[in-house]
Copies of this chain bind each other. A is one copy, B any other.
């Protein structure tokens, strides 16, 4: 997978949220993408800086239109951070959906993905970001699973993924796969950018958030009726938080135990998605089938959500 492809696949890179730090290893991340068989190109505003953002709101919103009109089929974000929700009223979701691009990213980009589903019923891709997954040391290897599922997803060959799970066995469900970063999912509740998904499969991850904040957000989704309306909740990585002595045993397992007592929707942990490796590339907004058998969870993706359909 790390051999140079004779026909490299173009990727257009945009920065819709936080600025890339001046000393960040952008060039080595781009080199890694090239080595993996891609031909990456940075949007002209991708390295801008304005306060903590990658350029002004207008700059960042305009990059979406530029991405939609250029040739590369894949549009990937450089990084997350904060800033996407500011842009939500500025985007033409139907035009962006009509462009047929495969929009890829995660974290703050969840806001775009939810809005694309809510406003244009469009499928996007929850997957890697340039600086999160490709900015590694030259002597390091890219994660095989991350790169492999990304490549397969992008060219329509990803039909199913399986992973070690726990929390619910014997679950069988079919529905819209949606979600992403929990903080962002909750920050769209009550707005026109929150998709109405009944009978869906909601996947969630978060980083740097104490379990009490995670629980408060899950409680919001619970009280809003969102959790009860899903067929399954899939938990990705919840990591990089710090417990305190005052928690006295309150931790992520305690959060999940409490939540399971509040909803009948099965809560399955172990999804390889979030701010860590390996990271699957998943079709956000697509119909999928889910099955758990013992400690393995399978997600079966419908092939017609590949780019060939757009």
Interface residues of A (CB under 8 A from B): 18-19, 21, 49-53, 82, 85-86, 88-89, 183, 186-194, 212, 215-217, 219-220, 223-224, 226, 246-250, 254, 258
Contacts and interface: CB of A to CB of B under 8 A. Distances in A.
Contacts of A190: 189-190, 194, 220, 224, 226
Contact of A52 (B88, B89, B212): B212
Counted per complex, copies of this chain come to: 2
Contact of A85 (B18, B82, B223, B254): B223
The 8 closest A-B pairs by CB, nearest first: A189-B190, A51-B250, A191-B223, A190-B224, A190-B190, A82-B212, A52-B250, A85-B219
B51 A254 contact: yes
Contacts of A250: 51-53
Nearest to A51: B250
Given A190-B194, A254-B51, A85 B246 contact: no
Most buried by B among A53, A85, A183: A85
A85 B215 CA distance: 10
B249 A51 contact: yes
A187 B217 contact: yes
Contacts of A21: 246
